[in-house]
Copies of this chain bind each other. A is one copy, B any other.
Amino acid sequence: MTADSWLNQLQQGGYRLTEARRAVVDVVSACDHALTPVEVYDAARQVYPALGLVSVYRTLEKLDELGLVQRVHQEGGCNAYLPHADGHQHLIICEQCGRALYFSGDDLSGLFQKVGEQHHFSITGHWLQLSGLCAECQPE
């Protein structure tokens, strides 16, 4: 029931529940790879044809604000969104099929702090994404 949980959190955040938002949430919350606004638009219109692209942008913005999605940066562009996993902040993305997967990086945070100290930086954030081929996309 991720979608329902997201809708609850939207409401909790003071936002109204509308058809447009439901459609966007349905698509994004159930997806295992990053989607651009246009991809969300196309998928969500299958359910709710009256949807406007503008509402997709606006809804993604709110989901991002609530920490429900995370922005993914890729070669081609930097405007794709993925459900945000709690606690696990690091990503692996398959170059071929686009499937995304979070992995736990508890051991890394300490390392980042250490690297920061070496260079006299106080580290406040990090961005880590691995790319490669998932099991299914690997040649024999």
Contacts and interface: CB of A to CB of B under 8 A. Distances in A.
A54 interface: no
Interface of A: 73, 77-78, 90, 92, 94-95, 101, 103, 107-108, 111-112, 115-116, 118-135, 138
Contacts of A111: 107-108
Nearest to A105: B115
A90 B121 CA distance: 14
Nearest to A125: B131
Contact of A92 (B73, B94, B95, B116): B116
A83 B21 CA distance: 42
A133 B124 contact: yes
A8 to B, nearest CB: 27
A47 to B, nearest CB: 30
Given A108-B111, A127-B127, 9 more contacts: A103-B115, A103-B118, A116-B132, A121-B130, A123-B132, A126-B128, A126-B129, A126-B130, A127-B128
Q: Which of A111, A121, A131, A134 has the most CB of B within 10 A?
A: A121
